[in-house]
A = this chain, B = another copy of it.
Amino acid sequence: MDTTYVAGAAVTRFGKFPDTALQDLAGEAVDAALADAAVRPEDVGFVAFGNATSSVISGQAMIQGQLALLDGQLAGARMVNVENACASSSSALHLAVMAVASGSTDVAVAVGAEKMSHPEKARAFDALGRAIDITDPLVVNASNRNSVFMDLYAQEARRYAAETGATTEAFAHAAATMHFHGSLNPNAQYREAHTPDAILASRMIIDPLTLLMCSPIGDGAAAIVVTRDKPGRDPVAITGAALQSGRRREGGQLITRTTAAALNQAGRKASDADVIELHDAAAPAALVILEEMGVVRQGEAWKLALDGQLRHDGRIPVNTSGGLISRGHPVGATGAAQVVELVDQLRNRAGDRQVPDAQLAIAQNAGGAVTLDDPYTAAVCTVTVLERA
């Protein structure tokens, strides 16, 4: 597949915005990304719109993108709505890359937009439960006072601790790193740094996860402009883009095989990464994922977290945006927002959280669950490799 480029990328502020419509969020991200890319809207030949929860939370299904962009610059374009749970907008990016690589257009836009905050908070948890087989007892019996995914993440954290000796303190240090990064990101939902002690002392959600280790409910949007031609200014190339589903394929664990596929496309190895955005819906997941991606050896990630080596100025900068737990996790927007952060890093415009001389970046985004065994299996995983070009 031909190399494609990111010509523009933008994210809205993430947070809870009761008075802001999905249209406003999506439009703001699209307008900023198009301006960043300096492309004309009429040259955009394909739009993939990632949104995961509207059909449950607001009730609007089937044509979310066409409605959200109806009065904007991309109205009337070739457009599909993509759902792939929490990986919806990274899946949208995957399709935008495919559209450009196929020669079916020279410019494509991937949008991720989500509005999860609602006067009835339970609606968000209900929606998240739809990313698991709804006939599963975990979903059927859910109280809707927490996301059912937090049960899965807590289970994973306990297994990881048992297998590697990871301590709950290490999880708190990982969370502290993400919150520190979030404090440096003007678009993060939470902009307050917390000590590991404060994180441990925050309200217990499900042992060992405390409130400040968990991603919040929120709203936001992000957009990425993909082009065939190399942009004249600060070009970023997409050199690998993999998307796989859970269960029944060769190659082992989902995140491991998806990362290997993307790195193979790019002709790179995991240790080449200068900066990584990964799917820390809960802080301990960041450590598990780093190991599943092959970035560090099994049992190493929690020690790196304790040592502060995941900070933007550390050895393996992870989630410089603040990640899902601090930047926030409006699910359909998350995958695209990760890529926006990495583009900002590769273009040296990440401000106070800039990783020095970042050349290669990897985004990992996952969603849903097709098996609930321990370890559970996500329904979908995407991995994208980006390089300064």
What are 26 A-B contacts with C-beta separation under 8 Å? A2-B103, A52-B61, A53-B61, A55-B55, A56-B61, A58-B134, A60-B134, A61-B130, A61-B131, A63-B83, A63-B131, A63-B132, A63-B368, A64-B83, A66-B368, A66-B380, A70-B370, A76-B245, A76-B246, A77-B249, A78-B243, A80-B83, A80-B95, A82-B83, A95-B95, A101-B104
Distance in angstroms from A384 CB to nearest chain B CB is 13
Instruction: Please report the C-alpha to C-alpha distance between residue A133 and residue B131 in the assembled complex, in whole angstroms.
Output: 24
A340-376 Cβ-contact flags toward B at 8 Å (1 or 0): 0000000000000000000000000001101000000
**Residues of the B chain whose Cβ atoms lie less than 8 Å from the Cβ of A99:** 98, 102
What is the chain B residue whose CB lies nearest that of A69? B245
Across the interface, do B246 and A370 meet the contact criterion of CB distance under 8 Å? no
Q: A38 interface residue, CB < 8 Å from B?
A: no
A124-144 Cβ-contact flags toward B at 8 Å (1 or 0): 000100111110000000000
Instruction: Please report the C-alpha to C-alpha distance between residue A53 and residue B61 in the assembled complex, in whole angstroms.
Output: 8
Interface size on A, as a range, is 35 or more
With A75-B248, A127-B61 known as contacts, the answer to whether A82 contacts B85 (CB < 8 A) is: no
**Residues of the B chain whose Cβ atoms lie less than 8 Å from the Cβ of A246:** 66, 76
What is the chain B residue whose CB lies nearest that of A77? B245
Determine which of B62, B76, B102, B367 lies in contact with A368 in the assembled complex, contact meaning CB atoms within 8 Å. B62
